[in-house]
Amino acid sequence: MARLSADNVERARAIIGLYPQSRSALIPILHVVQEQDGHLTDEAMQHVAELLGLTAAEVRGTATFYDMLFTEPVGRYLVSVCTNIACLLNGGEQLLEHAESVLDVKPGGRTADGIFTLEEVECIALCGQAPCLAVNWRFRGNVGHDDFDRLIDDLRAGRLDDEIPAHGTLCRVRRSVGLIAAASPAASAASAAPAAAGGAAGTKPGRRRKA
């Protein structure tokens, strides 16, 4: 657990190849890092910075903007309980309280055994089945308190390992092709940034010197 493995460096390079500008690959690569380590270690962020020609401060600054990217260790299972409006109206807060007592942690905390991290999450777009939650972003709707207890038991017992991989593994399907349509579009698309984005100060092409 440190820098990206050789295999993941290859994956990162392939991802970079999908975009006209390499920085676009940052977030997809950070998901790869989380798949490797469960969270973003300092070493891995530095490695990603090297791969993309960024500073580590830029990588961390961008990563911390996003709720799914963790710079601190997370349990094997990230249990995200929704309390937003539809769930609020249908017992989401009570479900979160129940989860707190079952797991004996506050939202944002990790269980003593390190297996679960509990978080209160904003709407996860499963409002038709409120109250709902996600475990490593695998969704569960209409979750009663008994359902929750059973879910935790199943997770502990490893009965859901096929369905719910360890935290960090987001998309288990890999893209099978790179960019194949044509020569990839010009990377220098910033042909005509508007004045507000920094005007060009009087560029004037030099006269060609007579040979």
Partner 1 sequence: MAVSDAPRIVTARLDHPDSHTLRRFLATGGYDGLRRALSMGPEAVREEVNKASLLGRGGAGFPAGQKWSMLRKAEPVYLVVNGDESEPATFKDHMLIEGDPHQIIEGTLITAFAIGAAQAFIYIRGEFALGLERMTQAVNEAYEHGAAGRDVFGSGWSMDVVVHPGAGAYICGDETGLLESLEGKRGFPRIKPPFFPAVYGLYQAPTVVNNVETMSNIPWIVLNGGDAFTALGDNRSRGTRVFAVSGHVKRPGNYEVEMVKTTFRDLIYAPVYGAGISGDRALKAFIPGGASSYWFGPDRLDMPLDQDEVGKAGTMLGSGSIVAMDETACMVRAAWRLTKFFHAESCGQCTPCREGGGWLEKIMRRIESGQGREADLELLLDVCDNIAPGLTWPPRQTTICPLGPSIPSPIVSAVRMFRDEFLVHIKEGACPYGH
Partner 2 sequence: MATEPEVAAAVHILLDGRPVEARPGEMIIAAAERAGVYIPRFCYHPRMKPVGMCRMCLVDVKGPRGFALTPACFVAVAEGQEVVTDSPAVKKAQDGVLEFLLVNHPLDCPVCDKGGECPLQDQTLAFGPGESRFVEEKRHWEKPIALSDLVLLDRERCIQCARCTRFADEIAGDPQIDFAERADRIEVATFPGQPFTSYFSGNTVQICPVGALTATPYRFKARPWDLEEVESTCTTCAVGCRMAVQSSGDWLTRYLGVDIDPVNLGWLCDKGRFGFEAIISKERVTAPLIRKAGELVEVSWAEALDSVSSSLKDALRVHGPGSVAVLGGARLTNEDAYAWAKLAKSVLGTDHVDAQLGDGLPAEVVLGLPRATIDDACSAGALVLLAPDVKEELPVLYLRLRAAALDRGLPIIEITPQRTGLSRYAGGTLMYRPGEAAAVARALVSSTAPGADAGGVPAAALSRAWSTLQDTDNVVVVLGRPSLAESSTLVVEAARVLAAGLPGARFLPALRRGNVHGALDMGLAPGILPGRVGLEAGREWYAAAWGSLPATSGLDCQGILSAAAEGKLQNLFLLGADPLSDFPDRDLATRALAGAGQVVAVDTFLSDSSKRANVVLPAAMFAERPGTTTNMEGRVSRLAQKVTPPGAAWPDWMIAAELAFRLDRDLGFSDLAAVWDEIEKLAPSHSGITRDLLASPAGADGVVAPLRAESKETDGEAVRPATLTVGTGTAVEFPALDAYSLRLVSGRTLWDAGVTVTRSPSLKGLAPSLRLRVNPYDLDRLGVTTGDSVRLHAPRRSCVLETVADAGVPRGSASLAFNTPGDGVADLIDATSAVTDVRLENL
Of the residues 6, 146, 157, 191, which one makes contact with partner 1 according to CB under 8 A: 191
The answer to whether the beta carbons of residues 117 and 79 sit under 8 Å apart is: yes
Residue count, binding to partner 1 (CB under 8 A): 68
Token code pair at residue 128: 């038709």
Q: Which residues bind partner 2 (CB under 8 A)?
A: 42, 45-46, 54-62, 64-65, 195-209, 211
Q: Indicate whether 166 belongs to the interface with partner 1 (CB under 8 A).
A: no
Binding marks (x or -) toward partner 1, 44..63, rule CB under 8 A?
A: --------x--------xxx
Q: Indicate whether 75 belongs to the interface with partner 1 (CB under 8 A).
A: no
Gap between the Cα atoms of 168 and 30, Å rounded: 10
- For 76, 154, 166, the CA distances from 162, given in Å and listed in that order, are 14, 12, 10
Amino acid at 197: A
Residue 58 or 100 having the CB closest to partner 2: 58
Q: How far is the CB of 166 from partner 1 (least distance, A)?
A: 13
The answer to whether the beta carbons of residues 133 and 82 sit under 8 Å apart is: yes
- Asked whether the bond before 131 is cis by omega within 30 degrees of 0, the reply is yes
Going by C-alpha positions, the residue among 87, 79, 83 that lies closest to residue 103 is 79
Q: Indicate whether 194 belongs to the interface with partner 1 (CB under 8 A).
A: yes
Q: Indicate whether 90 belongs to the interface with partner 1 (CB under 8 A).
A: yes
Of the residues 146, 162, 174, 204, which one makes contact with partner 1 according to CB under 8 A: 174
At a CB cut-off of 8 Å and minimum separation 6, what does 94 contact?
Answer: 131, 145
Q: What is the contact surface with partner 1 in residues (CB under 8 A)?
A: 18-28, 30-31, 52, 61-63, 65-69, 83-86, 88-90, 122-130, 134, 136-139, 170-177, 179-182, 184-187, 189-197
